[in-house]
A and B are shown apart, each in its own frame.
Chain A
Amino acid sequence: NGAQQGTYIVHMAKSQMPSSFDHHFLWYDASLRSVSESAEMLYTYNNSIHGFATRLTPEEADSLMTQPGVISVQPEQRYELH
């Protein structure tokens, strides 16, 4: 769709996973599919944070933010070695 995609870190309220899902990774994926059929799930996290990393357009990111259980959708930062 041409819009500039970026990588986003998505924080999820794991305890709000609907009972219809057996595993929170499936819930994350369904949440993502609800805003983009083609978005790539880069990583799902289980220990460092609860959530996942994905590629979205800004509009898709805004839309994902409205999904139940989504706490925050943060653009990925770049870090540097010291």
Chain B
Amino acid sequence: TTRTPLFLGLDVHNSGLFPETGPSSNVVVGVLDTGIWPESKSFSDEGYGPIPPTWKGGCDAGTKFTTSLCNRKLIGARFFVRGYEAINGPVDESKESKSPRDDNGHGTHTASTAAGSVVEGANLLGFANGTARGIAYRARVAVYKVCWKTGCFASDILAGIDKAIEDNVNILSISLSGSRTGYTDDTAVGAFAAMERGIFVSCSAGNNGPFYSSVANVAPWITTVGAGTLDRDFPTVVILGNGKNYMGVSLFSGDALPPKLLPLVYAGNASNNATYGNFCISGTLIPEKVKGKIVMCDAGGNPARIGEVVKAAGGLGMILANMAYEGEEILADAFLLPATTVGKKAGDIIRHYILTDPNPTASIVIKGTVVNVQPSPVLAAFSSRGPNPITPNILKPDLIAPGVNILAAWTGAQGPSGLESDTRRVEFNIISGTSMSCPHVSGLAALLKSVHPEWSPAAIRSALMTTAYNTYKDGKPIIDIATLKPSTPFGHGAGHVSPTTAVNPGLIYDLTTEDYLGFLCAMNYNSSQIRIISRGNYACDPSKTYSVADLNYPSFAVNVDGSDTYKYKRTVTNVGGAGSYSVKVTSETTAVKISVEPAVLNFKEVNEKKSYSVTFTVDSSKPSGSDSFGSIEWSDGKHVVASPVAISW
């Protein structure tokens, strides 16, 4: 990626935090996705040492993919297709590569985000130019192609995880999800097995935001990653005939519009479809009414495809107006004609201008790439939200990372818009989603693993969470672009990742397999369900009282169910030097009182463990659907170990 390493503080003056040589290049990031484009410069192995001796993986040959395409960077490339073929019939090898080769682009993008090699002069059609590199650019990459044209099937996913564990990856990056029925779901079960082998599993939280309780991949042994923006944008200016200007976003890079105002028409008035004409659906625009004009379409489908429809009807340019669903979140698109997306507010004004002015005109100016955009990060509207739909007393998502307009490597089999008609071929593409934020965290986990090889997956997650930030440098809270108001822990979890502090978190909340099994007992899972997940003979102890509240999680969620008092227990492990940690609690309303015992924890040596208990006293009469937030922070003056608190009635 370009820009993200700098945005995350991983640039040159912090390179000492994560030494480039030695252990960092022995960490293997496994990516379950659509495969890989091995010719990409992001998988060059120039300057890499021999493959780590612990590595047991390899490369599968197949359509347009020989094992020689693997190297000391791309050390694993496998594909799993039996589940897909069982349903769809044999792969049509004229359309899809029955091999690890990525025909889609998604897998190449995520793998290079997590651990791509350094590539100078990377850009998309001139946009976002810079030095591209993966978050853990010295780590090795192993890809497991489990996603095909019509989707990703559980039997293939489980086979990919099965092999990744056997191959001995250290990190597993999974940017997909299915239904959210429980922890016996296949990826949750596979992730449990990986966690047991010390493999850190990060998953995308899903793109169903900003809807309440829309978060996916919520198993507590998975790190669930939401998406935020970078400090980079691709602005445009829409100039109207009445002299007013409005900002938009675009990645169009072809011939600009003529430097004059052009006739402007609203698709709803230039269509043969009274009901949906405003969405510029294929075949609904009347060429005589749009030819040589700029067409305003309402958002509702694939932006590039909408642009394609306007272009085919003879339109010179397009203004795509967000509707209520997209609001002010404007994702960049590689349009095939001079076009821009504008937010709902601007869209409503421009639409009103068109419908009231006797001779509406406009022009679109593409401004290119700008950086140091503030405020940033903001929480992406599409980023799925809590509360956790399966266990409301475990806060999810865990944290957020860059996931909007991310440039990373791309396939040579598709154009940047993904449209069949897009014959352009690019080495890098800019796309958005929690699929992009997840591999950022996978890469960060690889960096932490290289510096702290003894840390468990839970310890890595804890370090990333307790050091995440949820305010800007000026102290103001991170904004949620869906509401233009402060984001909450149901949106950003513990906050935005901060790798430079995560490497030295002070205290960590560790968890073992046994702890997670105790959690399943607390969830009243029966012996069969526990056996599915544990693959062993573990049984809950009938003499023990299990509680979700006792799962040693680095955050707190309380689902008020009538009682006024809720007790949680936590144990922290000292991974910094000796120190005396004092607690500070905050609560945004008097309806929630938080007390912590003891208020001071004194540590003399590394790996010393101390426990504390938290009592939440809540006004249980608050109306259902209310939320309240706060925090519990421990500090020794050098480290701040922060945990969010989310209370929901």
Contact = CB atoms under 8 A, between A and B. Distances in A.
A53 B157 CA distance: 11
Contact of B154 (A9, A46, A50): A9
A71 B529 CA distance: 8
A53 B405 CA distance: 38
A78 B162 contact: no
A14 B194 CA distance: 18
B166 A46 contact: yes
Contacts of B166: 46-47
Which one of A11, A49, A50 has the highest number of Cβ atoms from chain B below 10 Å of its Cβ? A49
B45 to A, nearest CB: 27
Interface string A18-55: 00000000000000000000001011011111100101
A47 B172 CA distance: 14
A79 B187 contact: yes
Interface stretch (B174-182, B318-326, B331-339, B448-456): B174-182
Interface string B133-156: 000000000000001000111110
A53 B81 CA distance: 12
A46 B162 contact: yes
Contacts of A46: 162, 166
B186 interface: yes
A13 B531 contact: yes
A77 B435 CA distance: 19
Given A48-B161, A48-B189, A81 B86 contact: no
Interface in B89-112: 106
A78 B86 contact: no
A45 B153 contact: no
Interface residues of B, number: 50
A79 to B, nearest CB: 4
A80 B159 CA distance: 17
A76 B69 CA distance: 32
B434 A82 contact: yes
Given A72-B184, A81-B34, A11 B532 contact: yes
A15 interface: yes
A82 B177 contact: yes
B104 to A, nearest CB: 8
Question: Which applies to chain B's interface (DSSP): helix, strand, loop or mixed?
Answer: helix
A13 B205 CA distance: 31
Contacts of A40: 86
A39 B189 CA distance: 24
A43 B176 contact: no
B537 to A, nearest CB: 6
A79 B153 contact: yes
Contact of B531 (A47, A71, A74): A71
Contacts of B190: 48-49
Contacts of A15: 536-537
B433 A82 contact: yes
Contact of B535 (A43, A49, A81): A49
Contacts of B184: 72, 74
Nearest to B185: A77
B161 to A, nearest CB: 4
Interface string B624-638: 000000000000000
Nearest to A14: B535
Contacts of A50: 535
Contacts of A7: 83, 86-87, 153-155
A17 to B, nearest CB: 13
16 contacts: A15-B537, A42-B82, A42-B86, A43-B159, A49-B190, A53-B82, A53-B159, A72-B184, A74-B186, A79-B147, A79-B152, A79-B153, A79-B187, A81-B147, A82-B177, A82-B434
Given A71-B528, A76-B155, 17 more contacts: A7-B154, A9-B155, A42-B155, A43-B82, A46-B162, A47-B162, A47-B166, A48-B189, A76-B83, A77-B153, A77-B154, A78-B153, A79-B151, A79-B157, A80-B151, A80-B152, A81-B33
| For the complex of A and B, 10 pairs with smallest distance between CB atoms | A53-B155, A48-B190, A47-B165, A82-B204, A48-B161, A82-B435, A79-B178, A79-B152, A48-B162, A77-B178
Interface of B: 33-34, 80, 82-83, 86-87, 106, 147, 151-155, 157-159, 161-163, 165-166, 175-179, 184-187, 189-190, 193-194, 197, 204-207, 433-435, 438, 528, 531-532, 535-537
